[in-house]
Amino acid sequence: PPPPCNTSCCFFTVFSSYQLPPPLTSLIMLKPKQIDIADSNLALFGSETEKNVKKASAATEEQWVGAGSKAGLQIWRVEKFKIVAWPEDAYGEFHSGDAYICLHTYKKKGDTDALAWDVHFWIGSEATQDEAGTAAYKTVELDTLLDDAPVQYREVQGHESDLFLSYFPKGIVYLAGGVESGFRHVEPEQYRARLLHVKGARDNVFASEVPCKVDSLNSGDCFIVDGGLQIYVWKGAKASGDEMIQAAQIANALKDERGGKPEVVRLDEAQEDEATFWKMLGADKA
């Protein structure tokens, strides 16, 4: 019988030209191919070319025309993934269901005409993620248009920065609803009465819209019934002086923005003989 065959010996006898693969260790030590960044999509990242492209894109937004060109405050509201200029006579009024962009332009310190900017995007407590996202995206777009010079701030309803609050010396008013609820700025003659709850202390006094009914009143705070051309400031028996001052300032601001047409009436809690006031709240105390 033929002698036993060694498997490897027989294999190489038949396949004499076969080459052994390199040892595993040599495969591990092989260097990966070097990738040239110029051949990738990151080649222009952070370059002047990329910045110019982004700035050119930002310049196509019609609402940005003239933005930041002179000292002052400009406000836009997010409406269905777009931005719309907010009426100047409504500056300081923010709807809880919306998001806004506020651009503050000012002259730099010193004898110079050079401008500087602070841009804030404000998010209402009931704003959607889409609205908040659009506000953030558009803020970056505006920043790009102004050559990345503005300082950016994120503002959340009820927790605004001191800088943001300083833009509105007459106070901030939080209104219910938003663009999704069909709100549009209307003339005073078309107003449906609304009730503003003024609460806080010292420099942290805010007015928030609450249901316009008698049950919303309480003795510890001040309230404003805004009927368009008839404005009432109601002082609870235990309301603070700061709240009363802020309520009066807001009422006078509403009067001023309507050309001085509205009548402002001040009431104490003990006064129950103002029939129009109670009627606006859905009660009959005539």
Q: Which of 122, 124, 133, 118 is nearest to 100 (CA)?
A: 122
Q: Which of 30-34, 56-60, 70-74 has the lowest mean pLDDT?
A: 30-34
Mean local confidence (pLDDT), 55-65 = 83
Distance CA 114, CA 252 (A): 35
Q: Regarding predicted confidence, which is higher, 196 or 7?
A: 196
Does the pLDDT of residue 61 top 60, yes or no? yes
Which pLDDT score is estimated for 55? Answer: 76
Distance CA 121, CA 74 (A): 12
Which pLDDT score is estimated for 23? Answer: 58
pLDDT tens digit string along 119-154? 999 999 999 999 999 999 999 999 999 999 999 999
Q: Which of 210, 202, 269 is nearest to 235 (CA)?
A: 269
Distance CA 64, CA 85 (A): 10
Q: Regarding predicted confidence, which is higher, 70 or 37?
A: 70
Q: Hey, what are 83's tokens?
A: 């931005």
Sheet holding 82-85, edge to edge: 82-85, 72-79, 99-107, 115-123, 151-156
Which pLDDT score is estimated for 174? Answer: 94
Q: Could you say which architecture CATH assigns to the domain 48-175?
A: 3-Layer(aba) Sandwich (3.40)
CA 228 from centre of chain: 27
Q: Which of 159, 234, 156 is nearest to 204 (CA)?
A: 159
57-76 exposure pattern, b = at least 16 Cβ within 10 A, e = fewer: ebeeeeebeebbeeeeebbb
pLDDT tens digit string along 240-276? 999 999 999 999 988 888 889 999 999 999 887 788 8
Mean local confidence (pLDDT), 85-101 = 94
Which pLDDT score is estimated for 22? Answer: 58
> Residue ranges of the domains in the chain?
48-175, 194-281
Q: Which CATH class is domain 194-281?
A: alpha beta
Average pLDDT, the chain: 83
Give the best-scoring range by mean pLDDT among 7-11, 74-78, 169-173, 201-205: 74-78
Mean local confidence (pLDDT), 276-285 = 84
pTM of the model: 0.72
Confirm whether 48-175 and 194-281 share one CATH topology: yes
Match 């405050």 to its residue by tokens: 73
Which pLDDT score is estimated for 145? Answer: 93
Q: Which of 173-182, 228-237, 266-275 has the lowest mean pLDDT?
A: 173-182
